[in-house]
Structure 1
Amino acid sequence: MNTIICGLQWGDEGKGKIVDYLTETADVVARGQGGNNAGHTVIANDTKYILHLVPSGILWEGKKCIIGNGVVMDPVGLCKEITNLEEAGIPVQPDKLLISDRAHVVLSYHRELDAAREAALGKNKIGTTKRGIGPTYADKANRNGLRLADMLCEATARELIGIRLAEANDTLAKHDLPTFTVDQVWEDVAPAIERLRPHVTNTIPALHKAWKDGKTILFEGAQGSFLDVDFGTYPFVTSSNTTAGGACTGSGLPPTAIERVVGVCKAYTTRVGSGPFITENDDISDYFHARGMEFGATTGRPRRCGWLDMVLIRYACMVNGVTDLAVTILDGLDERESLQVCVAYDIDGERHDFPPANRAAWDKAQPIYEELPGWQSDTTGARSWDDLPENAKAYLTRLGELAGAPVTYIGNGPEREQTIVVSK
């Protein structure tokens, strides 16, 4: 089935592992949004890979990978990623990785503009990765961005860069940040553009041909639903649609081609960067950090950690049309004696089953918890539902009930084989 995989929290849910697991039965793996601000960690054949732009399907033989039009692509960063893969023995041929000629390009001044915006926000900063993602999407919306198709012709690229720099340099100078010349920007990116040229094409016909030929297409979402620019904890969000709909607009494949949406969440909740986090808990954060867990794959920053927030997941399942849940890092809770699950928010004495839009309401929200017993036993060796402790099964069953979607996949360790499929 053609499947979209999306995160149901604030990213870092373990989507890379689920994508890697489901890729075995896929023919095409596509990305439709985000940029190299996202990091997908996959462990295959005892080797750890961290992928930022390249779809996880690159680790499998015979799979076609597509970076769609909705992705904002840093050519220099992508070339580094390709080099790392090839040095690890993973070939990245032009017929294996296709890049949309409509994808917008992250350039050197976008990264500085990102830093300028964060500095201007002060204590209200978003907590971006400063990879230039937001400014590139802003240029796209303002209709003064550069797409890969523009970059393939040096004269066109230089002309468009010059037009954009007139405004960008003014902003950078006001923040005492470096300004750029057209030569600097072009010379920084030109070698990468030339290396990527054989991969650049109109990817939409390739996707439609795969669909019409009955091939299985897997859409690899980046980040999470609550970083979505429309549905997330605005303004502490990314600049794209990270929900299931973004896979269609970011690739050119219509919604009628999608047959399944797998929503991925951790067995608890984490967040990197600023913004509300109702179930954040210092004890849980210390617990994971002391074990060397929960540090960002892209930034290395320690993640904020807390109890499972089903208010978020319930809403994300609705927005994404989730048909199947994938719950990852169940083993992270193996040692806990009891578990708290947030089932609603209390805001000024009123119960809320869904997250608010009002910014002030987030500051007032208090979690309403339901307590469940822990299992205090090692789940990493489980290979089936029946192998799990009874309390772990009860926890997962309750999660599915509260989410309104069945738990189909369970991650109980980083390896591919540490994935339990629950039969329906």
Structure 2
Amino acid sequence: MGHVIVVDLGFGDAGKGTVVDHLCSKGPVAAVVRFNGGAQAAHNVVLNDGRHHTFAQFGSGTFTPGVRTHLSRFMLVDPLALAAEAGHLRALGVADALDRLTADRDALLTTPYHRAANRARESARGGARHGSCGMGIGETVSYALAHADAPRVGDCQSPIRLRRRLSALRDWYLGTFPSGEDVPDVDACAEAFAAFAERVEIVGAGHLRRLLGAGNVVFEGAQGVLLDEWHGFHPYTTWSTTTFANAETLLAEAGAADGSAARLGVLRAYATRHGPGPFVTEDPALTADLPDPHNAAGRWQGAFRVGHLDAVALRYALDVTGGVDGLAVTHLDVAGARPDLRVCLDYEIGGERVGRLETGPPDLGRQAALTRRLSAARPVYAPLGRAEETIEDVLQTPVVLRSYGPTAAHKRAGHLRTPIDVSLR
């Protein structure tokens, strides 16, 4: 099959999990490599027998026997959440998930102190909340940017260094958020993290090269391009690079040739967004009519919102990523049952018709200005028609995987051509 990088082109929740599960079940795939985000990910996989798991840190190919998960140095590893996830997988009959897991020693650790800080900071914003999963992702990154001694996975193998770094982190939290929620003491946290190090194989930079040599690898992204830390609509973004960049950096570091992995962009046949922020094609009637069984409103994340397919936003995602080799379109069963669905071809902004949004190098000021501009945008619609054909037409990109339901049995695959001719059959 060859190596494949899976990235969500929207605001997340497009179906990366079910796509990765399909790729791994059809295989052969040696491993899934997670290359951004952390325990806030919610990649839903439903098996043909009805079993369901929301993958957060384990790769979404874990239901396929033998497929390994590698948490790369770009992941934010939460050992406590990982243990809970492993427990749920064990209850579903996957007893060896931890045995098939490796974690890069340089990956940052997400702790209860990061999580508590995240919730305190978001609560303080009141009505101006940015939207958050409340899992400490942004705080993990921001703390590491300001503190060279931020705890990392490798520290779990060094009890003295781990306690020192956790103590500094806990002191920072208590000093910054004196009225925040209670947090565990350092000894309890260190004990749990040491148990993680005893149970999970912690590896160095050369591990990925060995994985790539062992067989096909699927790189599984989290969240979506429109939430990217540099290219998303600031400040309603994540502290994570959600494009193909991290995966391609890992491939280059492992000695893989440029273009050795196919780029697969995932989108729904209609648009969704979880939480606040610009959403030009939002339609309250669709939100009411199309509830998602795996995406409910959350205390920290906010409401799950639904709208019509947005070709302008998707063109922007393709532009900032440099394009894809093929598209995977999910929820085509919904599109087929809803003749009222539409596609936004352009925006009207200040009397001007706009079909493409401006892009550029990382610049949060420009992204904030774009966010303000989108608040004035009005969608210019056309009928959606046959969704997969419309998507190929408006995005000028082939649809190579069609999903008509939640399981691998609902997938219909075409052929994804790259410089090395990767087949998704």
- TM-score tier, shorter chain, comes to 0.7 to 0.9
Q: Residues 396 and 298 (structure 1 numbering): CA distance in 2 closer, same or farther, change over 3 Å? A: farther
1:135 is aligned to 139
- Contact 2:10–2:314 (8 Å) recurs in 1: yes
Q: Is 1:171 aligned with 2:168?
A: no
Tell me which residue corresponds to 2:152.
147
Q: Which runs of no fewer than 5 residues in structure 1 stay unpaired?
A: 374-391
Residue number in structure 2 paired with 1:216: 216
Deviations 1:208-232 (A, max 9, x none): 1233x36211101111111110111
TM-score (norm: length of structure 1): 0.87
Instruction: Give the match's secondary structure for 2:408.
Output: coil
Distance 2:380 2:118 in 1: 37
1:162 and 2:176 correspond: no
Q: 1:79·1:192 contact (CA, 8 Å) conserved in 2?
A: no
Report the equivalent of 1:40. 43
**More displaced 10-residue stretch of structure 1: 161-170 or 97-106:** 161-170
What are the residue-to-residue correspondences of 1:249-398 with 2, within 5 Å?
249=249, 252-253=253-254, 256=258, 258-289=260-291, 294-295=295-296, 302-320=303-321, 321-355=323-357, 357=367, 358=369, 359-373=371-385, 392=386, 395-398=387-390
- From the superposition, tell whether residues 237 and 97 of structure 1 become closer, same or farther in structure 2 (CA, over 3 Å): same
Q: Indicate if the aligned counterparts of 1:32 and 1:248 stay in contact, CA closer than 8 A.
A: no
Instruction: Give, in whole Å, the separation in 2 of the partners of 1:204 and 1:342.
Output: 44
1:82 is paired with a residue whose SS is helix
Higher mean alpha-carbon deviation, 153-162 vs 278-287, is at: 153-162
Q: Is the 8 A contact 2:230 2:241 kept in 1?
A: yes
Q: Deviations over 1:20-53 (max 9, x none)?
A: 0111322121101101111011012421111111
Distance (whole Å) between structure 1 residues aligned to residue 329 and residue 299 of structure 2: 22
Aligned residue for 2:411? 419
Question: What pairs up with 1:59-138 in 2 under 5 angstroms?
Answer: 59-92=63-96, 95-138=99-142
DSSP 3-state at the match of 2:65: coil
RMSD: 2.3
Aligned counterpart, 2:240: 240
CA contact (8 A) 1:108 1:185 kept: no
2:402 corresponding residue in structure 1: 410
Structure 1: how far apart are the matches of 2:170 and 2:257? 37
Separation (CA, whole Å) in 1 of partners of 2:92 and 2:42? 18
Cα deviation, residue 363, structure 1: 1.2
Contact kept, 8 Å, 1:7 with 1:221, in 2: the verdict is: yes
How many angstroms does 1:417 deviate by?
1.0
Q: 2: distance between equivalents of 1:106 and 1:67? A: 13
State the AA in 1 paired with 2:139: P
Answer yes or no: is the 8 Å Cα contact 2:224–2:243 preserved in 1: yes
- SS of equivalent to 1:341: strand
| Identity score, percent | 28
**Residue 75 of structure 1 contacts residue 189 of structure 1 at CA under 8 Å; is this kept in 2?**
no
Instruction: For residue 15 of structure 1, report the CA deviation from its aligned partner.
Output: 0.7
**1:385 alignment partner in structure 2:** none
Distance 1:8 1:61 in 2: 29
Distance 1:74 1:353 in 2: 41
Q: How many residues of Structure 1 are paired with residues of Structure 2 in the alignment? A: 398
Distance 1:193 1:3 in 2: 33
Contact 1:107 1:185 in 2 (8 A): no
Q: Is the 8 A contact 1:29 1:55 kept in 2?
A: yes
Aligned to 1:193: 194
Q: Which moved more, 1:351-360 or 1:403-412?
A: 351-360
Is the contact between residue 41 and residue 297 of structure 1 (CA under 8 Å) also seen in structure 2? Answer: no
Unaligned runs of 5+ in 2: 359-366, 417-425
Give, in whole Å, the separation in 2 of the partners of 1:344 and 1:98.
Answer: 45
The alpha carbon displacement at 1:153 in A equals 1.5
Deviation at 1:259, TM superposition (A): 2.3
Are the aligned partners of 2:275 and 2:303 in contact in 1 as well (CA < 8 Å)? no
* Structure 1 residues 372 and 75, CA gap change in structure 2 (3 angstroms): closer
| SS at 2:341 equivalent | strand
Distance in 1 of aligned mates of 2:182 and 2:300 = 25
Instruction: State the SS of the aligned residue for 1:219.
Output: strand
Shift of 1:189: 4.8
Contact 1:58 1:92 in 2 (8 A): no
Q: For residues 238 and 22 of structure 1, what CA distance do their matches in structure 2 show?
A: 27
Structure 1 position 296, deviation (Å)? 6.4
2: CA distance, partners of 1:203 / 1:64: 16
Match of 2:364 in 1: none
Greater shift, 310-319 or 88-97, is seen at 88-97
- Mark the CA change 1:296 to 1:419 in structure 2 (over 3 Å): closer, same or farther: farther
Residue number in structure 2 paired with 1:388: none
Q: Residue 132 of structure 2 contacts residue 301 of structure 2 at CA under 8 Å; is this kept in 1?
A: no
Q: Which stretch of the first structure deviates more once superposed, 408-417 or 155-164?
A: 155-164
- C-alpha separation between the residues in 2 aligned to 1:92 and 1:274? 38
CA distance in 2, matches of 1:93, 1:192: 18
Q: Is the 8 Å Cα contact of residues 37 and 298 (structure 1) preserved in structure 2? A: no
Change (3 A) 1:51 1:372: closer
**1:6 aligned to 2:7?**
yes
